[in-house]
Copies of this chain bind each other. A is one copy, B any other.
Amino acid sequence: MSEARIRYGMVGGGPGAFIGAVHRMAARLEGRYELLAGAFSSQPQKARAMGSQLGLATDRVYPSYQEMARSEAARPDGIEAVVIVTPNHLHFPVAKAFLEAGVHVICDKPLTTTLNDAETLRELVRRSGRLFFVTYTYGTYPMVAQARALVRGGQLGDVRVIQVEYAQGWLSTAVERTGSPQAGWRTDPALAGEGGCLGDIGTHAYHLVEYVTGLRPHSLAAELTRFVPGRRLDDNVQVLLRFAGGARGALWASQVAAGEDNALRIRIYGDKASIGWDQEHPDELRFAPLGAPPQTLRRGGAGVGPWATCVTHLPPGHPEGTLEGFGLLYSEVADALVAVRDHRPVPAIRVATIEDGVAGIRFIEACVRSARQDAAWVTLD
């Protein structure tokens, strides 16, 4: 009755890396994964230290992702899936190597640093027959799932206006020149790609819109700004969006919003009702129908549907946060991986796919194109 744990490996996520540790905790939460292999760092000593700290067998702590892909593919007990948590520029070659080795991929966002790479990768995924997930993690928060159910179930009526924003303040000064590795690669075009703030958090906001509403813009005008002197990539992004069907949107992403921590917020207004969600208080969803008092829907509470009740870990009032949302992502991916293992049809899950990954890169590319034309309107297809 108990399923065997999913054997997985990690590329990136060495000592001091933030998001790698988050992935590992999220994977542990429900006990369905087992970390068995890693290429944690290009510095062998760091890689070994991390492997030892995590209790991996020494022969499965690899000096390079290439060797890891090759060796794990050759082992009968090799990993089933790899988690890629490197800087952006490595997403493509690492994903390619593991897909070619027959390993499922869970890849951080943005998918790649160029649109060409993204489309090549999509083709590779198709040919490989392997599953590919992109960790746009906010979609799996229960109250985001509830928001999606409300919009897609018609309770907002026709969507008119979408206001989405993602504001952080941690790059308000030139921390990339003070030795912060987190800031270093994110502000370096060679490692991050053409989008700075745009790629790092703007794409999260963009994906959230599509995830909740099912709408994608056909054209946009994007103002990319670099406020911190000497910075090489945008640290502030303001975008106007036009959607098929007539909805209008505005997206703001910033990493120079002094005083903000991780303020991802979305508000969607339809002709019947509106919703509002704030990532920093993720267990709550404001639902305001025309002509009735606004309600505060709570995860697991009255008046919410199955996605916001069954999938959660705790009763209402026991706050869940980033790790629980991330844990649900891992849990759904596990459902899909186990289905493949058991030769069953892969269930529909809520986790972003290669298509969503490509869409994110298209968005970056279009914004950069608009910005180069002094923020003129450009089409997205």
Contacts and interface: CB of A to CB of B under 8 A. Distances in A.
A149 to B, nearest CB: 14
A269 B262 contact: no
A238 B248 contact: yes
Given A271-B227, A290-B169, A301-B261, A314 B320 contact: no
Contacts of A338: none
A46 to B, nearest CB: 13
Given A238-B248, A274-B260, A293-B298, A2 B161 contact: no
A282 to B, nearest CB: 6
Interface of A: 1-2, 5, 18, 21-22, 24-25, 28-31, 49, 52-55, 156, 160-161, 163, 165, 168-170, 172-173, 221, 223, 225, 227, 236, 238, 240, 242, 246, 248, 250, 252, 254, 256-263, 269-274, 279-283, 286-298, 301-304, 313-324, 374-377
19 contacts: A28-B28, A160-B236, A168-B317, A169-B274, A221-B240, A221-B375, A240-B240, A258-B272, A258-B274, A259-B269, A260-B269, A261-B317, A292-B302, A294-B296, A314-B322, A319-B319, A319-B321, A320-B321, A320-B322
Contact of A161 (B55, B256, B270, B293): B256
A40 to B, nearest CB: 13
Number of copies: 4
A236 B322 contact: no
A251 to B, nearest CB: 9
Contacts of A271: 172-173, 227, 256, 258
Contacts of A22: 313-314
A1 B45 CA distance: 13
